[in-house]
A and B are shown apart, each in its own frame.
Chain A
């Protein structure tokens, strides 16, 4: 059985739950997990139940990286660090927005831990509000399309680049739709000494509005359209890239999700979809995806 036990309260088809399971599948028992506030935290630990088969600690929304720093320092000071891995698993809001300062501090200080961002591109736990990870034109409850708006007006923040700028020895992107690739990267990140980072794309059927049976399919489309490039960076240099054969147009990814439905209501070619296609095209160029 997985170390993230069944019976938790995640939605059917939850990408976060898959991410948590894959992390533990990759790392095994000798790991301490730090969770900030978020879906994964709430649905795995309704007192007195816990789905975690490894030691787990949640403190607040914005401080997971600082808490992880303290856990690492304590284990070192008490002579208990040995091979034990310390992993923080936070959502995109906890990572890109409210927890960014604590993450910056922890990476600058060089603690031996891995931070995993499980990115479902909005504040799902509070009801699908926009975060710094919400993609352009997505419909969220705080970036709704309307008479004069096409949804979220801002581009997604490039968090892996921010972490790489801290001199992290290992930064990778991954997707729950590519489980073996994700697990390999998580394991590698945890084994490399120092602060490492894996940014995992994790579709949310509730927030993105698709059927819970399609989570993997939607995750694959993000990669196949080049909207979510998969790569590894070691010491600031891109070392591996997952190439895309027969790249799909972004419409194929957008049209299966209710959060982009408003982009398909106007007759003729929608200039906003063109803008999203440009993001994919830029990714292809930047990372050499083809």
Chain B
């Protein structure tokens, strides 16, 4: 363990990262497994360690709504939620993005009801894919913490101005104790400029926010959001590199590879399962298997170009999804990876596996089983997409 490392809970590392980003307004509503983050922030606030307004609202809907008002008034804003809470925010997620308010939120990924389940999968944030929020997925606690200032810098960039969510797997990352480096205030001050927006609710310079747009003007609002996502695509990489220069840590920008260059079988995944996949790959490499990992860090904007490039030598692509589009029998990563390859010459088979729903554990053995299943494609047996971890006795 390096000497500036401490062993803290994932939620604490994130709350601490939020603190050093100096938000002006925090607004949140408690929901498992997000609670520890907002509790830690409440304690910082109670101890006078964070100079902000902390609003204990009566619902997630009001949490995000209060931040819409605060952000329009010129504040740097923060919230955190998960699962049902994020679903309750759905309408306001579209609204905050359409209003181009750079709110930053940690989504502690959890399954959706019914049946009610408090454990991890990524159905909650994936289901918010089209709301116009930037979505980055963290692999471990350190990355979850480090993502926070990166996202403020990105969201508040004058050419981006989009809200952003940092996604961390519930319990697996939020409640785990890991050695981490807590973000230094001095480095964060150097990395993240103070927020000084051009358009704010100000009685000295009155402006209208949230106007009504008819068919003659509406389309261009959507177009400009999309363009801003395109800018974010460039800036995510840039900001990850700036972060590396100042803090010395790097996790990839849009994507990251692990023994990828010569890999014939490429596993694609998002979030904490990546650690398990890396360990599995290490074992399989010693057995001579040509397996590599393509980590997807940014799901929105979707890094189609970078993925195409990274997959150009792959013989088999495996996608892991902790979510499902019911009625399509596929997870979102699978669908999007296939779509981004379709208009190219690369006809590599993409095989989707859905797993880890509602907190079902993903052991290394499961990754190996998936790889073996995918390799059947070499014998002409093609599985398009399936649940990898069904219990036969219940299915």
Name A's B-contacting residues (CB within 8 A).
29-32, 34, 41-42, 45-48, 50, 52-60, 62-63, 65-78, 80, 84, 101-102, 104-106, 108-109
Given A48-B217, A74-B24; A59-B69 close (CB under 8 Å): yes
Which of these, A55, A69, A73, contacts B201 with CB under 8 Å?
A55
Bound form: Cα–Cα A42–B59 in Å:
27
7 pairs of A and B residues whose beta carbons are closest in the complex: A70-B69, A105-B58, A70-B66, A63-B65, A66-B65, A58-B210, A67-B69
Indicate if the CB atoms of A31 and B69 lie closer than 8 Å: no
Indicate if the CB atoms of A71 and B73 lie closer than 8 Å: yes
Q: A9 — nearest CB in chain B belongs to which residue?
A: B212
Indicate if the CB atoms of A74 and B25 lie closer than 8 Å: yes
Which of these, B53, B59, B205, B213, contacts A74 with CB under 8 Å?
B53
**At the interface, yes or no: B61 with Cβ under 8 Å from chain A?**
yes
**At the interface, yes or no: B348 with Cβ under 8 Å from chain A?**
no
Indicate if the CB atoms of B61 and A76 lie closer than 8 Å: no
Q: B217 — nearest CB in chain A belongs to which residue?
A: A47
CB distance from B380 to the nearest CB of A (A): 53
Which residues of chain B have C-beta atoms less than 8 A from A63's C-beta?
61-62, 65, 68, 92
Bound form: Cα–Cα A236–B386 in Å:
62
CB distance from A233 to the nearest CB of B (A): 23
Bound form: Cα–Cα A60–B65 in Å:
9
CB distance from A4 to the nearest CB of B (A): 12
22 CB < 8 A contacts A-B: A34-B69, A45-B212, A46-B213, A55-B203, A57-B69, A58-B211, A58-B212, A67-B65, A67-B66, A69-B55, A70-B27, A70-B72, A71-B72, A74-B73, A74-B75, A74-B77, A77-B24, A77-B51, A78-B75, A101-B59, A102-B59, A105-B62
Which residues of chain B have C-beta atoms less than 8 A from A65's C-beta?
62
Which of these, B27, B56, B73, contacts A75 with CB under 8 Å?
B73
Which of these, B62, B203, B205, contacts A84 with CB under 8 Å?
B203
Name B's A-contacting residues (CB within 8 A).
24-25, 27, 51-53, 55-59, 61-62, 65-75, 77, 91-92, 95-96, 99, 201-203, 205-214, 217
Which residues of chain B have C-beta atoms less than 8 A from A42's C-beta?
212
Indicate if the CB atoms of A68 and B69 lie closer than 8 Å: yes
Which residues of chain A have C-beta atoms less than 8 A from B75's C-beta?
70, 73-74, 77-78
CB distance from A144 to the nearest CB of B (A): 29
Indicate if the CB atoms of B92 and A78 lie closer than 8 Å: no
Given A29-B203, A71-B69, A73-B55; A50-B61 close (CB under 8 Å): no
Indicate if the CB atoms of B73 and A59 lie closer than 8 Å: no
Which of these, B62, B71, B96, B214, contacts A66 with CB under 8 Å?
B62
Task: Kindly list 10 other residue pairs between chains A and B, CB separation below 8 angstroms, not including A55-B206, A70-B25, A104-B58.
Answer: A29-B203, A29-B206, A52-B208, A59-B95, A70-B71, A70-B72, A73-B27, A77-B70, A78-B74, A80-B73
Bound form: Cα–Cα A55–B211 in Å:
12
CB distance from B206 to the nearest CB of A (A): 5
Given A46-B211, A58-B211; A70-B55 close (CB under 8 Å): yes
Indicate if the CB atoms of B61 and A57 lie closer than 8 Å: no
Bound form: Cα–Cα A45–B205 in Å:
17
Which residues of chain B have C-beta atoms less than 8 A from A52's C-beta?
206, 208
Which residues of chain A have C-beta atoms less than 8 A from B99's C-beta?
59
Indicate if the CB atoms of B58 and A108 lie closer than 8 Å: yes
Which residues of chain B have C-beta atoms less than 8 A from A55's C-beta?
201-203, 205-209
Given A71-B69, A102-B65; A57-B209 close (CB under 8 Å): yes
Q: Which of A55, A72, A106 has the most CB of B within 10 A?
A: A55
CB distance from A124 to the nearest CB of B (A): 15
Bound form: Cα–Cα A72–B53 in Å:
10
CB distance from B44 to the nearest CB of A (A): 15
Bound form: Cα–Cα A30–B74 in Å:
17
Q: B213 — nearest CB in chain A belongs to which residue?
A: A47
Indicate if the CB atoms of A57 and B201 lie closer than 8 Å: yes
Bound form: Cα–Cα A84–B203 in Å:
8
Q: Which of A66, A101, A105 has the most CB of B within 10 A?
A: A66
Which residues of chain B have C-beta atoms less than 8 A from A58's C-beta?
209-212
Indicate if the CB atoms of A48 and B62 lie closer than 8 Å: no
Given A29-B203, A53-B206, A69-B57; A59-B92 close (CB under 8 Å): yes
Q: Which of B57, B66, B99 has the most CB of A within 10 A?
A: B66
Which residues of chain A have C-beta atoms less than 8 A from B207's C-beta?
55-56
Indicate if the CB atoms of A62 and B61 lie closer than 8 Å: yes
Indicate if the CB atoms of B201 and A32 lie closer than 8 Å: yes
Given A55-B202, A74-B24, A77-B24; A60-B95 close (CB under 8 Å): yes
Indicate if the CB atoms of B208 and A45 lie closer than 8 Å: yes
Indicate if the CB atoms of B58 and A59 lie closer than 8 Å: no
Which residues of chain A have C-beta atoms less than 8 A from B67's C-beta?
70
Bound form: Cα–Cα A200–B6 in Å:
58
Given A42-B212, A73-B75; A109-B68 close (CB under 8 Å): no
Which residues of chain A have C-beta atoms less than 8 A from B72's C-beta?
57, 67, 70-71
Indicate if the CB atoms of A59 and B203 lie closer than 8 Å: no
Q: B53 — nearest CB in chain A belongs to which residue?
A: A73
Q: B209 — nearest CB in chain A belongs to which residue?
A: A57
Bound form: Cα–Cα A69–B69 in Å:
7
Bound form: Cα–Cα A280–B73 in Å:
44
CB distance from B343 to the nearest CB of A (A): 35
Q: B56 — nearest CB in chain A belongs to which residue?
A: A109
Indicate if the CB atoms of B211 and A50 lie closer than 8 Å: yes
Q: Which of B56, B59, B77, B210 has the most CB of A within 10 A?
A: B210
Indicate if the CB atoms of A77 and B66 lie closer than 8 Å: no
Indicate if the CB atoms of B24 and A67 lie closer than 8 Å: no
Q: B101 — nearest CB in chain A belongs to which residue?
A: A59
CB distance from A26 to the nearest CB of B (A): 15
CB distance from A2 to the nearest CB of B (A): 14
Given A70-B27, A70-B69, A78-B75; A56-B209 close (CB under 8 Å): yes
Bound form: Cα–Cα A19–B109 in Å:
45
Bound form: Cα–Cα A59–B201 in Å:
13
Which residues of chain A have C-beta atoms less than 8 A from B71's C-beta?
70, 74
